[in-house]
Amino acid sequence: MPGNDRSEPRLRCVLPFEAAPAEVPLLRRAAAKQLARWGVTAARDETELLVTELATNVFKHVGEGASATLILEWRGEMLRLEVHDKSQVVPASRRPACDEECGRGLHLLAALAADWGTVLTAAGKAVWCEIPIAPGRACRRVERAVEALERYQGGGDPGPRGRRRELALEESAVELIADLLHWAAARGEDPDDMLDRAQVHYEAQADAA
């Protein structure tokens, strides 16, 4: 499975779901909410459409009620989506006697994504795609935060990967915020007032994104 340069800051979100029609809108909203947290709003429409098709293909071709997982990964100017399931049957966009619905999701992948593919895993398979996104101010803020946290926790060493890395970054964020509040108090500032001002700035920037 093609990968990105590990020197770039990376954010990753794992969303388990059950393959069922009622789950699809919930999964789509969860993905959109995560993109908003990252500030990657430019890719929201394409992401929601691709999440819908990928999740729909799981319950159509693997089986309703099957366990699956959506993984979102943002790095630099590329957003990656992966849907993992427990079937090793690789989807095909063209098959004999294929009706108009057959392979529709794969055609959308080809049309909307910069690249896509399928890979077999130990537990089944993963269908992945990558969406190019234009770097914006909100995205750059998230990039700077990740870079700062990596420097804060290990002098520039990115440290562990995957979920362990995300937990390490979260812990570093808590420690950094606490240190900043100590710094504010040492200067005679009110830490609560600083948090309130930061919240106001965050909400204004999120609304403008």
| DSSP per-residue string spanning 92-140 | -S--TT--TTTTHHHHHHHHH-SEEEEEE-SSSEEEEEEEE----HHHH
Q: Say how many domains are in the chain.
A: 2
Shared domain for 174 and 112, answered yes or no, is no
Query: Measured between alpha carbons, how far is 122 from 166 in angstroms, rounded to an integer?
Result: 23
Query: Measured between alpha carbons, how far is 155 from 102 in angstroms, rounded to an integer?
Result: 51
Q: Does 47 map to a domain?
A: yes
Tell me which of 132, 158, 180 is where a domain ends: 132
The pLDDT of residue 196 is 85
Tell me which of 79, 107, 132 is where a domain ends: 132
Question: Which residue would you say has higher pLDDT here, 76 or 123?
Answer: 123
pTM over 0.85: no
The pLDDT of residue 3 is 44
Shared domain for 80 and 163, answered yes or no, is no
Question: Which residue would you say has higher pLDDT here, 14 or 194?
Answer: 14
Mean pLDDT, to the nearest integer, of 113-122?
Answer: 89
- Strand arrangement of the beta sheet that strand 10-18 belongs to: 10-18, 67-75, 78-85, 125-132, 115-120
Indicate whether 73 pLDDT > 50. yes
Q: Which of 98-102, 161-165, 204-208 has the highest mean pLDDT?
A: 161-165
Instruction: Choose the weakest-confidence range: 35-39, 68-72, 80-84.
Output: 35-39
Shared domain for 29 and 100, answered yes or no, is yes
Shared domain for 193 and 118, answered yes or no, is no
Q: Does 67 map to a domain?
A: yes
Quickly count helices (H) and strands (E) in the chain: 6, 5
pLDDT band at 182 (very low <50, low <70, confident <90, very high): confident
Tell me which of 132, 166, 198 is where a domain ends: 132
Contact 71, 12 (CB under 8 A): yes
Query: Measured between alpha carbons, how far is 55 from 69 in angstroms, rounded to an integer?
Result: 9
Range of the domain at 167: 137-208
Shared domain for 178 and 192, answered yes or no, is yes
